[in-house]
Amino acid sequence: MADNLSQPFDKSAMTEEEKRQVNKEIRKQIVVFALMIFLTIISFLAVGADIVPRSFAIPFILLLAVVQFALQLIFFMHLKDKDHGWATAFMISGIFITVPTIAALMLLIGVVKY
């Protein structure tokens, strides 16, 4: 028993169903990844090529940033998955701590214009 376990497996230990699940997950991640790169390109174009008007550029980029952040959390940080209770708890407590910290910091050093 001990011997064969220390050899690499020649065949994957996953069932067909598990493999299908993993493939689906990979496809999803690639799509989201492409989407996020697309969003990044848009925001660069928005400023670099003056596609959106000056006054609207900053809120527009911030909007894109929020969308990206959400995608990042949901798909890459596994916020959507079940059985990630602990990871989710840590993410939420992280947000719970960082948001007031950054807000207070901005107030204190007087960042009032964005």
86 binds another protein (CB under 8 A): yes
108 binds another protein (CB under 8 A): yes
12 binds another protein (CB under 8 A): no
Cα gap 59→37, rounded to integer Å: 19
Q: How big is the site for another protein, counted in residues (CB under 8 A)?
A: 20
Cα gap 40→64, rounded to integer Å: 8
99 binds another protein (CB under 8 A): no
98 binds another protein (CB under 8 A): yes
Minimal distance, residue 40 CB to another protein, in Å: 21
Q: How far is CA 20 from the centre of its chain?
A: 23
Minimal distance, residue 14 CB to another protein, in Å: 17
Cα gap 61→42, rounded to integer Å: 9
Nearer to another protein, 8 or 53 (CB): 8
Note whether 79 and 94 are within 8 A (CB). no
Task: Label residues 40-72 b or e (16+ Cβ within 10 Å = b).
Answer: eeebeebeeeeebeeeeeeebbeebeeebeebe
Near another protein by CB under 8 A: residue from 109, 112, 113, 114:
109
* Interface residue list for another protein (CB under 8 A): 1-3, 5-8, 86, 90, 93-94, 97-98, 100-101, 104-105, 107-109
